[in-house]
């Protein structure tokens, strides 16, 4: 119960802010860095948007209303940085932006997958 209260209160507060005070997600800020442009994620309760959503999804997946008496290891989560935050890849004279999993597909087999069961990281090969 105490473990659930920590994240569920944050979820309820966020929902109430949306429904009762008209809160909306702040816009993404774009900042010029050198010759490129970088997007800065909006913050929710002091956390970057993707971290907040990842935390809430994982916490919700472990809730008894979703998975029954004990958290299910069937839900797997991975940090969004694997799919976001592209970096430049050069091919001859061309350069293009690619996320990590497209540059190095083998990274999906590393121990970076989490379940709602515990805070251990797993590999897809486990």
Q: What is the pLDDT of residues 5-15, one digit of tens each?
A: 666 777 777 77
* Per-residue model confidence (pLDDT) at position 46: 84
Strand pairing partners for 39? 30
What predicted TM-score, i.e. pTM, was given to this entire model?
0.62
* Per-residue model confidence (pLDDT) at position 22: 79
pLDDT beyond 60 at 93: yes
Q: What is the mean pLDDT of residues 44-64?
A: 83
Q: Which of 68, 67, 98 is nearest to 85 (CA)?
A: 98
Between residues 115 and 8, which one has the greater pLDDT? 115
Report the share of the chain in percent with pLDDT over 70.
92
Cβ atoms of 28 and 40 within 8 Å: the answer is: yes
Interatomic CA distance for residues 122 and 78, integer angstroms: 10
């Amino acid at each position: 119960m105490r473990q659930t209260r920590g994240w569920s209160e944050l979820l309820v507060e966020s929902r109430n802010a949306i429904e009762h005070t008209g809160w909306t997600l702040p816009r993404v800020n774009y900042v010029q860095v050198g010759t490129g442009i970088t997007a800065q994620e909006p913050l929710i309760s002091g956390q970057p948007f993707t971290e907040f959503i990842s935390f809430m999804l994982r916490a919700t997946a472990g809730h008894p209303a979703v998975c029954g008496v004990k958290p299910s290891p069937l839900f797997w989560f991975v940090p969004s940085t694997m799919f976001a935050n592209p970096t430049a890849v050069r091919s001859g004279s061309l350069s293009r932006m690619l996320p990590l999993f497209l540059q190095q597909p083998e990274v999906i087999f590393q121990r970076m997958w989490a379940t709602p069961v515990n805070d251990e990281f797993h590999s897809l090969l486990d």
